[in-house]
Structure 1
């Protein structure tokens, strides 16, 4: 496989798709911080920062943190 294609695939699957998933997900939290919070960022921004810093590992942490409904 072409090294350039491999690099683009890693970039796309490791960073861009997780960022899009968190940006569009309903379960990522709000963009604004909760009332009374002293942090200027909301939960969704925090998840985006984690994915930017940790890459696929940050996305797996987000994926694991979502609540699952057990049947």
Structure 2
């Protein structure tokens, strides 16, 4: 079997907007795209996309999201 360089990485992002401004985070000490700006989100392990954005919002920007 040939070595396949393609790797699928699931991602789920949330765009937070308030007063016509978008909340961005600046990546630091992650080993990937450090110094660049990004929206909040990423999927870890076996979580759903909704679970991922709720967790990332809390971890990355300290925002508690509630599911309606």
Q: What is the TM-score when the length of structure 2 is the normalising length?
A: 0.33
Q: Give the helix-richer structure, 1 or 2.
A: 1
Whose strand proportion is higher, 1 or 2?
A: 2
